[in-house]
């Protein structure tokens, strides 16, 4: 970036074969170079801001499905290359439709933000990533973490949500989470499918007689 400061000087040298002949000309050329560098920096910042915005969920501030699909592919490659574990948590809100129908969409949006806050507080900053991949479906990528460690993350998410509002403790809200650890030579699409199936099994089990129907935090592998 700082090399751009010399662009006007190099341009003059190429065009005229001479460098500035006076102190005033030198200052003019250097100031012009600084302005060019600042302009390029601003354009780069705006470019990256637009890219980040296109991969961010507006309601929760988490990454969106597009970002998730890119991240899971990249993380699978890195995990295999480094021979490190990679876990994926797929989360679905239980009884979310009940909240929307009874309390309205504003209340539903608040619930989604509470879960997103729980994810942010439960994961490692700059290492793990949380995503909103659908209406009330979320995902968490945990590089370097085993499935057992991922279960602890799910527990922390549930504990944070329980502190956010009584509905997470006394009902009707709960979360069902599917947890999978990347297998050798497994492609990203199958990795995601296994997490989704694990979440669906947990959701079915939570709805079965004899299990808590509300306020629960359940995980399945």
* Active site amino acids: 136
Half-sphere exposure of 183 (CA within 13 A, CB side): 11
- Continuous segment of H or E residues that includes residue 45: helix 23-54
- Nearest to 132, CA basis, from 90, 178, 160, 173: 90
Contacts of 188 (CB under 8 A, 6+ apart): 72, 73, 76
Q: How buried is residue 101: exposed, middle or buried, by Cβ count under 10 Å (0-12/13-18/19+)?
A: exposed
- Identify whether the C-beta of residue 127 lies closer than 8 Å to the C-beta of residue 108: no
Half-sphere exposure of 210 (CA within 13 A, CB side): 1
- Identify whether the C-beta of residue 99 lies closer than 8 Å to the C-beta of residue 115: no
The answer to whether the Cα torsion of 126, 134, 60, 201 is positive or negative is negative
Q: How far apart are CA 39 and CA 35, in angstroms?
A: 6
């Amino acid at each position: 970036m700082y090399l751009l400061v010399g662009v006007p000087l190099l341009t003059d040298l190429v065009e005229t074969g001479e460098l500035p002949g006076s102190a005033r000309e030198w200052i003019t050329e250097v100031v012009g170079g600084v302005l060019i560098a600042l302009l390029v920096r601003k354009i780069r910042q705006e470019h990256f801001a637009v890219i980040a915005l296109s991969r961010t969920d507006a309601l929760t501030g988490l990454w969106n499905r597009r970002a998730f699909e890119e991240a899971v592919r990249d993380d699978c490659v890195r995990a295999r290359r480094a021979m490190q574990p990679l876990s994926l948590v797929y989360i679905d809100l239980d009884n979310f439709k009940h909240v929307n129908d009874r309390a309205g969409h504003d209340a539903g949006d608040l619930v989604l933000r509470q879960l997103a806050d729980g994810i942010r507080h439960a994961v490692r900053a700059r290492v793990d990533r949380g995503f909103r991949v659908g209406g009330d479906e979320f995902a968490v990528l945990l590089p370097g973490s085993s499935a057992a460690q991922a279960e602890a993350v799910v527990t922390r998410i549930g504990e944070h949500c329980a502190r956010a509002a009584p509905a997470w403790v006394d009902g009707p809200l709960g979360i069902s989470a599917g947890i999978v650890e990347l297998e050798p030579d497994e492609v990203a699409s199958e990795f995601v499918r296994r997490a989704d199936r694990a979440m669906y099994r947990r959701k079915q089990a939570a709805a079965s007689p004899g299990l808590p129907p509300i306020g629960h935090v359940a995980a399945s592998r």
